[in-house]
Amino acid sequence: MQCPYCRAESSVTETRVTADGLRRRRMCTACKRRFTTYEKVGLPGLKVTKRDGTVELFDREKIVEALARVTAHRTVTDDDLRRIAADIEGRLVDGARKVVAWSDIAQLAIDRLRDIDPVSANRLAANYTDETGALRLVHDKATDRPQLGLRLEDDD
């Protein structure tokens, strides 16, 4: 994207996914001025692979749901969870990949959660990985589909 002031190339400093598309903060590589662009595209066909090999369309709500499980009884707010999920979505868009592994998403979530609540981050890490660090799947009785991670014991 060209800088609107000097026409040099710009770089993206932040991407947010909004209801209408993408909002990107950019900085000109030449004159260093900052500007924001709005792009009316969502996540065209971004797909997620699970460890069992199934592929599904990216769904931000699934990140929020997974985070809600590990942050139960903690002080992390819904807004925090939605901000983390939106941030991850922005990162994936910037990565320009068509397919992303659930394990990559989980790792991004763990990294962000650690800044807000290390206890929840450790829960997520323990929940989504086994002792070798590999992601594990369990069969979810409610949906009759394999799900990433184990149901947490209620340890409070």
DSSP of 65-101 = HHHHHHTTTSS--HHHHHHHHHHHHHHHHHHT-SEEE
> For residue 23, what are the CA distances in angstroms to 12, 16, 88, 106?
10, 5, 14, 24
User: Taking the complex as a whole, how short is the minimal distance between the CB of residue 79 and Zn ion, in angstroms?
Assistant: 35
Q: Is 81 an interacting residue with respect to Zn ion (CB under 5 A)?
A: no
Q: Is 6 an interacting residue with respect to Zn ion (CB under 5 A)?
A: yes
Q: Is 31 an interacting residue with respect to Zn ion (CB under 5 A)?
A: yes
Q: Is 55 helix (H, G, I), strand (E, B) or coil?
A: strand
Burial class (CB in 10 A: 0-12, 13-18, 19+), 64: middle
User: Taking the complex as a whole, how short is the minimal distance between the CB of residue 36 and Zn ion, in angstroms?
Assistant: 14
User: Taking the complex as a whole, how short is the minimal distance between the CB of residue 38 and Zn ion, in angstroms?
Assistant: 19
Q: Is 26 an interacting residue with respect to Zn ion (CB under 5 A)?
A: no
* Sole binder of Zn ion in the list 15, 24, 26, 28 (CB under 5 A): 28
Kindly tell me which of 33 and 50 has the beta carbon lying closer to Zn ion. Answer: 33
- In the structure encoding, which two tokens stand for residue 140, read together? 């979810």
Residues that bind Zn ion (CB under 5 A): 3, 5-6, 8, 28, 30-31
